[in-house]
Amino acid sequence: MNFELDDVYQDLQATVRRIARDHVAPRARAIDAEGTYPDDLFEVFRSAGLFGLCIPEEYGGSGAGILGLTIAIEEVAKFSQTAGLMLLLSRLPTGPVMIAGSEEQKRRYLPGIADGTQRASFGLSEAEAGSDVVGMRTRAVPDPDRPGGWILSGRKSWISGVRQADWYTVFAKTGDPTSRRHDAITAFIVERSWPGVDVPRVDHKMGVHGVDTGELLLDEVRVPPENVIGEVGGFRLAMLGLNAMRPVVAARGIGLAEGALMYATTYVRNRPAFGGRIADFQGIQWELAKLATEIEAARLLTYRAAWLADQGRFTREWVPFLSMAKYYATELAVRASSVALQLLGAAGYMSDHPTELYYRDAKQLTIVEGTSQVQLNLIARGVLDQHLWWDDPEGAFTTGW
């Protein structure tokens, strides 16, 4: 067992760390304040090849996998969740294509993401169907004028990067829209330029400004048969795609927690109080120590989850391990941002310091791509179904042993 990153990943980590310090850190507060998409950072990431990290080499990427993307996001998320989300969007919408897409789809849509000439988004949630995915109402009916084609109608909500995207991975009901059967849902690639595709509004968010989140309206959008991802009735594809994303979202949480702790540590080391420094107090030191330990635990969970995902181990039996990483790292981000703000006191609540930004951005992570409560359900199911480290062939752990 080797806990060291190999040379390729270490070089990637060092490169992205420099980019984060030189380009992301100086822009983070302005991006939050202005709320406009940071095209300058996009160009920096594009030039460095960061959008192709998780895309295989044969489709224009570097083949660094989910682990490579996880490492990169952790570094930029120390300063900006917006930057982390920009990189995340190179994997979320492309995941279903890489898992179940045709060779034609892969060659048509993946290279543009890898080289930064195109951007994509992921349309799954709806206003009344967030965690309850099978409650979606977006409908796909067969196109009478084109065999194998479909006509999509509906409204998707809370789509990150919705206004910047050139195409979307969209899930819709190909069966009865009131049905809760898993085989009633199918994935499609929908291009922004097609008739009937519109972005009627963007949301006003508490944090993670700079990457628009909003609605995608589909008004009788004609989708050709070659843009159906995988098989008709592919609800499982949505779950596989999300399962593989758990470590990527977790990386955003680790990065935020690290950034908040690093900033607060610098502050308490230099802030005089009661004839000494804030850092001299044991109570303060214990808070720093607890956060440092939790960050290290979260990183181990997350890197293992990324390794599992790169091995294709994101099916049901592996879900608890992936969910543990997402749950623990994102909840840690909330705790770390709260502790960091508290360590700065009144100063931390002011926009003079990034602690209030960390605090606002952190909460989003416990909601997106499966809430903390959803992750707990998935972990608990793994325990009850004995998919974890279970070794009790003789029933030794029965009641009363």
* Ranges of each domain in the chain: 7-115, 120-231, 236-385
- CA separation for the pair 75, 15 (Å, rounded): 10
pLDDT digits (tens, 9 = 90+) for 318-373: 999 999 999 999 999 999 999 999 999 999 999 999 999 999 999 999 999 999 99
Tell me, what's the pLDDT at 34? Answer: 95
Q: Please enumerate in sequence order all residues whose Cβ is within 8 A of that of 316, keeping only pairs 6 or more positions apart, or say none.
A: 387
pLDDT of the residue at 393: 55
- pLDDT (tens digit per residue) in 170-180: 999 997 777 78
Specify the pLDDT at position 128.
Answer: 84
Write down the CATH superfamily of domain 7-115: Acyl-CoA dehydrogenase/oxidase, N-terminal domain (1.10.540.10)
The pLDDT of residue 268 is: 97
> What are the catalytic residues?
369
Which residues of the chain have a pLDDT value below 70?
A: 390-401
CATH superfamily of 120-231: Butyryl-CoA Dehydrogenase, subunit A, domain 2 (2.40.110.10)
Query: Given this model, what pLDDT does residue 68 score?
Result: 98
CATH topology assigned to domain 236-385: Butyryl-CoA Dehydrogenase, subunit A; domain 3 (1.20.140)
Model-wide pTM > 0.85? yes
134: exposed, middle or buried (C-beta count within 10 Å: 0-12, 13-18, 19+)?
middle
3-state secondary structure of 159: strand
Candidates 152, 92, 80, 96; CA nearest to 120 is: 92
Encode pLDDT of 263-286 as tens digits: 999 999 999 988 899 999 999 999
